[in-house]
Chains A and B, each alone.
Chain A
């Protein structure tokens, strides 16, 4: 307020920037497939690693990948890693209760999705080795508008989350080699 008697000790600055980026061709194709109920990736013709979403190159072999390298992926897999976040109420945080984010190694032909949500399982029962399957949004409710050029491992807007299949867990040593 004007004419306080105490010295001014702080200065507020609300920083805000907006970015509007064209969706690159390979992610457009990925999003289109998601809306049609399919998960796709690119398999590197050299090392065989599968990237979901596709990046248009394999960073290990440093070669470009194209539509010719497209593969349809399984929509079931196994949890290879997870974290339970206890949300701190900083500016912009919308969550209030602890929540889990998991990494999933998809069944053959492979591919890994990260930061996925789990459904129908309490947070404290999320575990490595848990077999899961995708819970797709109904076709008319699929909206891939959240998927951006850097949404690696995302299926946002099409797959709501992953629920346990009820099958026995895979032992951890069988999935040790999978990427995070």
Chain B
């Protein structure tokens, strides 16, 4: 990857994931940003660059993301940017920006309310307008096509999928921000009807509203203000072909490539926070990142426990950083995804 710049996560905060938030997006984003800045040990006015990740289609308002800047504090005027993507990509842009060397801290955040709209009707609009959107093809149906392909090739079983759901929900009991948690019996889960076969409800992510914020700093600043900076040792993003019929949905070459370029295989991985919003996708991601049974996957419960679109990928970074800063892990992988059925993937390696 060339010379890796020394950039660290020095603060992070999340809102709980709600099925239907009563507060507006700027209102629940407000304390999340304040908390992240406070935990970073810096002043709001010291932030050199701000980047937000959100999706106007979720809000149903053009420039909805502009209102979110009220939660950041944009007076006096600030240097900021926005990506119509998960906040993980806002973090990526902030990471790139910090390499210019003229600013030493950056704030990245992601937020969204999926509850007001109908996700199954919104997401078809991001697809090929001639051949896919008019069929109203929704993310659950595409994920189901992917799961069927895996089952057909004996790459996974429905039992394994349910076990992933049960494990994630059990892990989420320890996550105060999670929405779906508890102890579930695998056989009881398998007795439930399909929603879109071969996927059952437990194979799907919840619909969530929420926000996450992360503060980054360059080396000197990080060492000055932070007791346990979490270093970003590698980060990379790759994208595949759009048409699902031109991909092998049982593989994720973009994840594999991003993982290689981020340097996942260059050391022992203690844990990984993966944005697998469908149970079967966890297995694909593990395979492509080369994560064996000794790696703890999604100690937070992952996207199956809380899925605030536009924040869920950045939440993986926050949770991965938490594993290092608060739970003594040394090297943790964070992963974010976008597009249908793992079409594009961002992978980072975080280190103590």
Direct A–B touching in the complex (beta carbon < 8 Å)? yes
A contact set with B: CB distance below 8 Å: 11, 13, 15, 17-22, 24-26, 55-57, 59-62, 64, 149-150
B75: chain A residues within 8 A (beta carbon) = 59-60
Q: List 19 A-B contacts (CB under 8 A).
A: A17-B122, A18-B117, A19-B60, A20-B116, A22-B20, A22-B21, A24-B22, A24-B24, A25-B23, A55-B26, A57-B71, A59-B71, A59-B73, A62-B34, A62-B72, A62-B73, A64-B31, A149-B24, A150-B64
Q: Number of contact residues on B: which range applies?
A: 35 or more
Residue-wise interface mask of B (163-177) relative to A, using a CB-CB cutoff of 8 A (1 in contact, 0 not) = 000000000000000
Q: Which residues of B contact A (CB under 8 A)?
A: 20-24, 26-27, 30-31, 34, 44, 57, 59-61, 64, 67, 69-75, 113, 115-118, 121-122, 125, 129-130, 133-134
Complex Cα spacing A135 to B291, Å: 68
Number of A-B residue pairs having CB atoms within 8 Å of each other in the complex: 68
Report the bound CA distance from A47 to B327 in whole Å.
42
| Known contacts A24-B22, A60-B75, A62-B73: A19-B117 contact under CB 8 Å | yes
Given A21-B113, A24-B27, A150-B61: A55 and B134 within 8 A (CB)?
no
- Which of B116, B118, B134 has the most CB atoms of chain A within a 10 A radius of its CB? B116
Assuming A13-B129, A57-B70, A62-B73, is B134 touching A18 (CB within 8 A)?
Answer: no
With a cutoff of 8 Å between Cβ atoms, the chain B residues found around residue A15 in the complex are 125
Whether the pair A62, B61 counts as a contact (CB closer than 8 A) is no
Q: Indicate if the CB atoms of A25 and B122 lie closer than 8 Å.
A: no
| Complex CA distance for A11 and B31, rounded to whole angstroms | 46
- Smallest beta-carbon distance B293→chain A, Å: 43
Of all A-B residue pairs in the complex, the 8 with the closest CB atoms, nearest first, are A59-B70, A62-B73, A21-B116, A19-B60, A19-B116, A149-B24, A24-B24, A60-B75
